[in-house]
Amino acid sequence: MNKTFYLAYGSNLNLEQMAHRCPTAKPVGPVVLKDYQLLFRGGHGGAVATVEPFKGKSVPCLLWEITPADEAALDRYEGFPFLYRKENIKVQLGKKNIETMVYIMNEGRPLGTPSCYYYSVILDGYKSAGLDTVILKQAVQDSMEVENG
């Protein structure tokens, strides 16, 4: 079967949510997306996570191995191709460079803050994957500062 590596940085870090959404997906392990920044876009109180190129910053991610059925489920959930597009990005796993698929929000949505529920889903994912939650908190700050001018 054809497997794809998928890079999760938002609510799909959450193991419980992914088990429900993509029952055949397998977590491979944490990786770092270098020279990208985590932000929230979509307006105040309803913004969702995205990553954008930013030299010198990095985003902790969880690498998944997914099947075509998992990818179809993710496409529906992520609002592909209207809300998010797919890009291929290389990340380092151990000593290997691995090509992964990642969802990145399409341009044109304003920065904003996520709902408390959505934030807590991502926070749980960060904790279960052993990722640094400081970056998640910083992303909320970064998304608010620009939002408030």
Extents of the domains making up the chain? 4-147
- 96-140 pLDDT, tens digit per residue, is 999 999 999 999 999 999 999 999 999 999 999 999 999 999 999
Question: Both tokens of residue 108?
Answer: 């044109």
Q: Is 54 left (phi over 0), alpha (psi -120 to 50) or beta?
A: beta
CATH 3.20.20.70, domain 4-147, yes or no: no
Q: Is pTM, for the whole model, over 0.75?
A: yes
Cis check for the bond before 81: say yes or no (omega within 30 of 0). yes
pLDDT(2) > 80:
no
- 12-55 pLDDT, tens digit per residue, is 999 999 999 999 999 999 999 999 999 999 987 899 999 999 99
| pLDDT confidence of residue 18 | 96
Cis check for the bond before 23: say yes or no (omega within 30 of 0). no
More confident residue, 134 or 149: 134
Quick one: which H or E segment has residue 140?
helix 133-147
Question: Both tokens of residue 63?
Answer: 């690498």
Q: Please give the Cα distance from 62 to 45 (Å, whole number).
A: 25
3-state secondary structure of 31: strand
Q: Please give the Cα distance from 123 to 134 (Å, whole number).
A: 10
